[in-house]
A and B are shown apart, each in its own frame.
Chain A
Amino acid sequence: MAEIRYIDAINQAHHEEFARDEHVVVLGEDVGRKGGVFGATAGLIDKFGEDRVIDSPLAESSIAGMAIGMAANGLVPITEFQFADFIHPAFNQIVSEAARMRYRSNNAFGCPVVFRAPWGGSHGTALYHSQSIEAFYSHVPGIKVVAPSTPYDAKGLLKSAIRDPDPVMFLEHKRMYRLVKGEVPSGDFTVPIGPAAVRREGTDLSIFAYGWMLHESLGAAEMVAPEGISVEVVDVRTLVPLDTQTLLKSVGKTNRALVVYEDNRFGGYGAEIAALIAEQAFYDLDAPVTRLGGPDVPGIPFAKPLEEWFFITKEKIADAIRKLAAL
Chain B
Amino acid sequence: MAVEVKLPQLGESTYEGTIGKWLKQPGDHVERFEPLVEIITDKVNVEMPAPIGGTLQKILVDEGATVPTGTAIALMETTDAAAAPEAQPRTPVAAAAAPAASDRRTVAAGDGERARLSPVVRKLAEEHGVPLEEVASLRGSGAGGRVTKEDVLKHLEQRKAPARPAAGVATAPPATPARPGAFPAQPSAAAPKEAGGDELVKLTPLRRSIAQRMAQSKRDIPHAYGTIEADVTTLIKWREANKDEWRAREGVNITLTAFFIKAAVEALRAFPVVNAAWTEDGILLRKAINIGVGIALEDGLIVAVIKHADQKSLVGVAGELDALGRKARDGKLALEDVQGGTFTITNPGVFGSIWSMPIIVPGQAGILATDAAVKRPVVRGDGIAIRDIMHLGLSFDHRIFDGATGVQFLNRIKTKLEGFPGGDAALTDF
| In the complex, B149 has a CB within 8 A of chain A | yes
Chain A interface: which of B86-94, B113-121, B190-198? Answer: B113-121
Contact: A286 with B120, CB < 8 Å?
Answer: yes
Contact partners of B123 in chain A: CB under 8 A: 283-284
In the complex, what residues of A have CB within 8 A of residue B148's CB? Answer: 286-287, 327
Residues of B within 8 A of A264 (CB): none
Interface residues as binary, A264-305 with B (CB distance below 8 Å gives 1, 0 otherwise): 000000000000000000111111000000000000000000
Contact string against A for B residues 118-138, beta-carbon threshold 8 Å, 1 for contact and 0 otherwise = 111111000000000000000
Interface size class of A (residues with CB under 8 A): under 10
Report Cα–Cα, A235/B249, bound state, in Å: 84
A282–B119 alpha-carbon span in the complex (Å): 6
Q: Which residues of B contact A282 (CB under 8 A)?
A: 119
CA of A282 to CA of B118 in the docked complex: distance in angstroms? 9
Q: Contact at B142–A284, with CB atoms within 8 Å?
A: no
Could you tell me if B143 and A283 are in contact, using CB atoms closer than 8 angstroms?
no
A179 at the B interface (CB under 8 A): no
CB distance from A323 to the nearest CB of B (A): 9
Q: Decide: B119 and A327 in contact? CB cutoff 8 A.
A: no
Q: Bound state CA distance, A284 and B149, in angstroms? A: 10
Write out the residue numbers on chain B whose beta carbons fall within 8 Å of the beta carbon of A286.
118-121, 148-149
Q: Are B142 and A283 in contact (CB under 8 A)?
A: no
CB pair B146–A283 under 8 Å, yes or no, is no
Question: How far, in whole Å, are A326 and B141 apart by their CA atoms in the complex?
Answer: 8
Q: Which residues of A contact B119 (CB under 8 A)?
A: 282-286
Taking the closest CB of chain B, its distance from the CB of A256, in whole angstroms, is: 9
| Minimum CB–CB distance for A285 against chain B, Å | 5
A326 neighbours in B (Cβ, 8 Å):
142-143
User: In the complex the two chains form, what is the Cα distance from A285 to B122 in whole Å?
Assistant: 10
Give the complex CA separation of A66 and B225 in angstroms. 85
A137 to B146: give the CA distance in the assembly, Å: 40
Instruction: Decide: A327 and B120 in contact? CB cutoff 8 A.
Output: no
Q: Is the CB of B149 within 8 A of A255?
A: yes
Instruction: Return B151 CB to nearest CB of chain A, in Å.
Output: 10
For residue A253, give the distance in angstroms from its CB to the closest CB of chain B.
Answer: 11
Among A282, A285, A286, max chain B CB count under 10 A is at A286
Bound-state Cα–Cα, A287 to B140, Å: 13
Smallest CB–CB gap between A186 and chain B, Å? 46
Q: Is the CB of A255 within 8 A of B120?
A: yes
- Give the docked Cα–Cα distance between A326 and B146 (Å): 10
Residues of A within 8 A of B121 (CB): 286
How far does the alpha carbon of A326 sit from the alpha carbon of B280 in the complex, in Å? Answer: 13
CB of B71 to closest CB in A, whole Å: 25
Contacts of B146 in A (CB 8 A): 327
- The interface residues of chain B lying within 8 Å CB-to-CB of A255 are 118, 120, 149
Contact residues in A for B142 (Cβ distance below 8 Å): 287, 326-327
Q: Which of B124-170 contact A (CB under 8 A)?
A: 142-143, 146, 148-149
Q: How far is the CA of A285 from the CA of B118 in the complex (A)?
A: 7
On chain A, the residues within 8 Å of B118 by CB distance are: 255, 285-287
Which B residues lie within 8 Å of A287 (CB)? 118, 142, 148
B420 CB to nearest chain A CB (Å) = 52
Assess the B143–A284 pair: CB atoms within 8 A: no
CA distance A46 to B55 in the complex (A): 97
Residue of B nearest to A252 (CB): B120
Q: Which chain A residue has the least Cβ–Cβ distance from B118?
A: A286
Of residues B120, B122, B143, which shows the largest number of chain A Cβ atoms within 10 Å of its Cβ?
B120
Instruction: Give Cα A327 to B121, complex, Å.
Output: 13
Q: How far is the CB of B147 from chain A (nearest CB, A)?
A: 9
How distant is A65 from chain B, measured CB to nearest CB, in Å?
49
Expressed in whole angstroms, the Cα–Cα distance for A286 and B149 within the complex equals 6
Q: Report A-chain residues with C-beta under 8 Å of the C-beta of B122.
A: 283
Shortest distance from the beta carbon of A9 to any chain B beta carbon, whole Å = 40
CB distance from B241 to the nearest CB of A (A): 62
22 contacts between A and B (CB under 8 A): A255-B118, A255-B120, A255-B149, A283-B123, A284-B120, A284-B123, A285-B119, A285-B120, A286-B118, A286-B119, A286-B120, A286-B121, A286-B148, A287-B118, A287-B142, A287-B148, A326-B142, A326-B143, A327-B142, A327-B143, A327-B146, A327-B148
Closest 3 A/B residue pairs (Cβ): A286-B149, A286-B120, A286-B118
Listed in ascending order, the chain B residues whose CB lies under 8 Å from chain A are: 118-123, 142-143, 146, 148-149
Given A284-B120, A327-B146, output 16 extra A-B contacts at Cβ < 8 Å. Answer: A255-B118, A255-B120, A282-B119, A283-B119, A283-B120, A283-B123, A284-B119, A284-B123, A285-B119, A285-B120, A286-B118, A286-B120, A287-B118, A287-B142, A287-B148, A327-B148
